[in-house]
Structure 1
């Protein structure tokens, strides 16, 4: 198969602006004229946060708060160009201004997973050589412990809310009370492609997280790629059928520290003229209430959240009719789930996208020409993306042949921070080696088979856990699942399914142990009836209370692989 090209980018993207200058200070032909809608909405309170300064409460507006925080950081801490600020917090309405203010000063942002332990946070702080930490009061104890171990003075740990530490609000007010203490630098021509904006950490689902260096130019490009692909600011269809419109309301449940939430929620949503409902922590029933309360129209989710929409009994108590767009990313979504989802949100366009931290997020998305994306497909390549599929022997795969996806995109990251070896292995001669096995059809639809490292080999045949999980989730007793390989003398590896049961089934099994065997047998038969023999659950089914996932929604398969080994070795069945 020759290389596959997305369409050409139809506009010039400036390479001499920082992200703050591009998104807060400039205009672009793809950017709609914004209607009277807020940039951000605080989920719990409904507080609406506008962009422009409007007296007399101008200091509550985004642009003013961004300036105030940048000026305050300079006055109090003397933040210099290329210093690294770690943001260790769940989503917060001041999280985006904190990023934009840091970039006003020419410094670098590194978002940290707010569920990290002090040891995990310390690893990130040391790797990026952070000099300041912005934390949430809920994560303050961990932040202070990591800062102390890293040699960062405690007064350089500040919080979004009130605490014993300096607050973001106090620093914003300090900055607003004083004359500008900094001069924002204009980048040289081309410098936006090399100046680091973010040190974003890869998910760590297959190993120790690495810091991905992302230049200012990359998220700008990706937003424009999405805008062109989805025809933002074009009258390509009747207003009510256009995918992204000024005034739409988007659920901001994706974590901002993760590339999906960072680029799409913080940058694409306001650029497209939409409002983002900022939710600090995902709780499913609270999420359903938010959909009703804020009349949310757009959902950007990950597969485990889609599973809840399809399976949770509370959904029937809420009005989902206002939702007219849903996209799932971060992991493959099965065709079975898409079919179920169409019944839950019947008025919505539904489909998938695909991207990586290393590509500064989106590489594919489902077409605006389709209300429902091709089942099982991650969509087609965005403008400016070039792709090839490489077989294990290094030769190029043909159409409909599986192999590793390798891409070139103008939104590609610079590499891994202070990790030359990993950079050489992943960024090869201008190509990003994704580590994902894909199949590309004649119509350029891209099907993500699975992570190559997660593919199991059963009697020499490749078996993708995601495929089996999609099948298992179609069983009426199953609320959630994760499939892992276990060693087998005859087959090499065989699939084992960890399963979370629906509450009624779990109660039935709890009351009568014989029911457990019946339900397990039923699940195994369901897979056997729908899959080829070597994909059957020869490793069995194990019930579990919850499937472990990282905050971006990816299954922590390695945790359950370890659990499976312990079970098969006859060790203690520690409760997850």
Structure 2
């Protein structure tokens, strides 16, 4: 049977389908908090640099004019696929200025993980068809290596300027900056936004963001996110949380309620991009932007800017719970709540956090790049640790068994299928994966999440979603997705590796980390196991991003378990590892 949002959930307002994200975010008629009542939307947490909501709109306009001149684009001509810009940068207060400027011209912003190495960046640039790239000085060397191979000329590499404490002695090397483009754009003629000529439904058909999500095939897949998808999830989150914000507004006796939120999560990640950035700006909140994670800088920023809402991931929360002495040196009394996603937060960790900060409301949510973020989340009045909360307005869910039967009740596990206006267009250049993931049936178009879930009723009588296991074989470490097949393919090129299988193993700080089970090549049998493990681990370190390293270790086995068709039985390896860990725990 289908599952729906709880009875207390407000109805989802009409979602405009013929405007761009830029128009939706910068025009009060679409429900955003009036500019007069909005805080400054983005603040550099290191320098204090900021601008008002109306200034953000102007900066977006001016940057779009400069981009049109630099790249030879016209807003009313060409497909969005003719106007692709990449951003490979640490967080910046102009991240969305750039996104909306590109979209104002009818183009696409492809967001690149700032942890990527040159080869990974090169792949995304080529796959997306990016014609230009914005980066930052700490990533400039990597960028230039990748752009040379992707045939992007130096003059189309632009710089997002960061605080001196981040860039140090690094130099620009003659590249134009985002700020210089905005300044130049003020002197150029105005360009009507591309959506002034859009027909009905065009916002739902046009790609606005291209974010990459790893698949079990090993190579990341470009997730095509439409304007309508982003607008829909922004409205879904805002509507879901509106009753609690309205209650806070009345209690404070204010006309409008806004908050100060933490903008530390990578804006290249769908969580930071939508939840941490778009929703905040739409609601008139202020997002305090930090370029990267530094624990003491984070605490100082919370204290200095009196941040109310923390958007975090479990490893950051674990760091807090294990750093009580450091926490005592900072005033965190402004914080009222934290929201965690990207990986499950254990009840024990939540309890530990509340033992330190009993006044905090610890919320959790669940979503995917393919659902343009949030599917469900807890709210202040209905927190249930271990749960990912209730479905957002406008979402229908089904739970389907391996045999293809729909679950009819509670506490029965199956794969989560989601129907939502925020479900994306599909995967770029991968029709097979699109067909396998996005299913059409008599009830509409559903996205198969690959996650095993159960529905349970909370003590208050509301349906909550619990993530039990992943049917997909992705490893989630620090909120990033790691495809076992990608690491396996790489390991097989090591001369000492005859066969291998990679799985995720539990890690308190990262959630999961990759572990490799290796069948040694005949010629390496006599080598020291310790030296060989180090050689294999180093081989991954030298070629893959930091979060893909084999932190779970390397274990040698005699044979990789496979099905008769040759498919690696990773679930069998996971079950063996769990049993081994259970027995080890029992012996301690």
CA contact (8 A) 1:92 1:280 kept: yes
TM-score by length of 1: 0.77
User: Do residues 5 (structure 1) and 17 (structure 2) align?
Assistant: no
CA contact (8 A) 2:159 2:176 kept: yes
Corresponding position of 2:348: 336
Quote the Cα distance in structure 2 between the aligned partners of 1:171 and 1:137: 17
User: Do residues 48 (structure 1) and 50 (structure 2) align?
Assistant: yes
Quote the Cα distance in structure 1 between the aligned partners of 2:556 and 2:252: 52
* Structure 1 pair 32–349 and aligned structure 2 pair: CA distance change class (3 A): farther
Which moved further from structure 2: 277-286 or 306-315? 306-315
User: Do residues 434 (structure 1) and 425 (structure 2) align?
Assistant: no
Any idea what SS the aligned residue of 1:210 has? strand
Corresponding position of 2:303: 292
Corresponding position of 2:574: none
Any idea what SS the aligned residue of 1:445 has? strand
Quote the Cα distance in structure 1 between the aligned partners of 2:400 and 2:546: 26
* CA displacement at 1:364 relative to structure 2: 0.4
* Structure 1 pair 390–384 and aligned structure 2 pair: CA distance change class (3 A): same
Structure 2: unaligned runs, 5 residues or longer: 162-171, 476-502, 519-536, 560-588
Corresponding position of 2:138: 138
CA contact (8 A) 1:205 1:556 kept: no
* CA displacement at 1:241 relative to structure 2: 8.1
Match of 1:35 among 10, 34, 37: 37
Corresponding position of 1:354: 366
Q: Deviations over 1:147-174 (max 9, x none)?
A: 1111111101111125421211221122
* CA displacement at 1:285 relative to structure 2: 1.2
Match of 2:70 among 66, 71, 76: 76
* CA displacement at 1:51 relative to structure 2: 1.6
CA contact (8 A) 1:206 1:453 kept: no
Corresponding position of 2:550: 559
* Structure 1 pair 18–481 and aligned structure 2 pair: CA distance change class (3 A): closer
* Structure 1 pair 134–363 and aligned structure 2 pair: CA distance change class (3 A): same
* CA displacement at 1:346 relative to structure 2: 2.1
* Structure 1 pair 465–375 and aligned structure 2 pair: CA distance change class (3 A): farther
Quote the Cα distance in structure 1 between the aligned partners of 2:258 and 2:405: 48
Any idea what SS the aligned residue of 2:262 has? strand
CA contact (8 A) 2:115 2:546 kept: no
CA contact (8 A) 1:232 1:245 kept: no
RMSD over equivalenced CA pairs, Å: 3.1
Structure 1: unaligned runs, 5 residues or longer: 53-60, 457-463, 474-478, 489-543, 570-576
CA contact (8 A) 2:20 2:195 kept: no
Q: Deviations over 1:505-547 (max 9, x none)?
A: xxxxxxxxxxxxxxxxxxxxxxxxxxxxxxxxxxxxxxx9xxx
CA contact (8 A) 1:16 1:191 kept: yes
User: Do residues 169 (structure 1) and 198 (structure 2) align?
Assistant: no
User: Do residues 305 (structure 1) and 303 (structure 2) align?
Assistant: no
Give matches, 1:326-475, under 5 Å: 326-370=338-382, 373-397=383-407, 398-429=409-440, 430-442=445-457, 443-454=462-473
Any idea what SS the aligned residue of 1:185 has? helix
* Structure 1 pair 165–455 and aligned structure 2 pair: CA distance change class (3 A): closer
Quote the Cα distance in structure 1 between the aligned partners of 2:278 and 2:504: 33
* CA displacement at 1:219 relative to structure 2: 1.0
CA contact (8 A) 2:516 2:550 kept: no
User: Do residues 280 (structure 1) and 291 (structure 2) align?
Assistant: yes
* Structure 1 pair 41–483 and aligned structure 2 pair: CA distance change class (3 A): closer
Quote the Cα distance in structure 1 between the aligned partners of 2:447 and 2:153: 39
* CA displacement at 1:239 relative to structure 2: 4.2
* CA displacement at 1:175 relative to structure 2: 1.0
Quote the Cα distance in structure 2 between the aligned partners of 1:139 and 1:485: 28
Quote the Cα distance in structure 1 between the aligned partners of 2:188 and 2:357: 50
* CA displacement at 1:146 relative to structure 2: 1.2
Quote the Cα distance in structure 2 between the aligned partners of 1:245 and 1:405: 37
* CA displacement at 1:97 relative to structure 2: 0.5
Quote the Cα distance in structure 2 between the aligned partners of 1:144 and 1:483: 30
CA contact (8 A) 1:323 1:345 kept: no
Quote the Cα distance in structure 2 between the aligned partners of 1:413 and 1:36: 29
CA contact (8 A) 1:118 1:145 kept: yes
* Structure 1 pair 387–93 and aligned structure 2 pair: CA distance change class (3 A): same
* CA displacement at 1:67 relative to structure 2: 1.0
Quote the Cα distance in structure 2 between the aligned partners of 1:396 and 1:485: 34
Corresponding position of 2:265: 254
CA contact (8 A) 1:248 1:275 kept: yes
Corresponding position of 1:495: none
* CA displacement at 1:47 relative to structure 2: 2.0
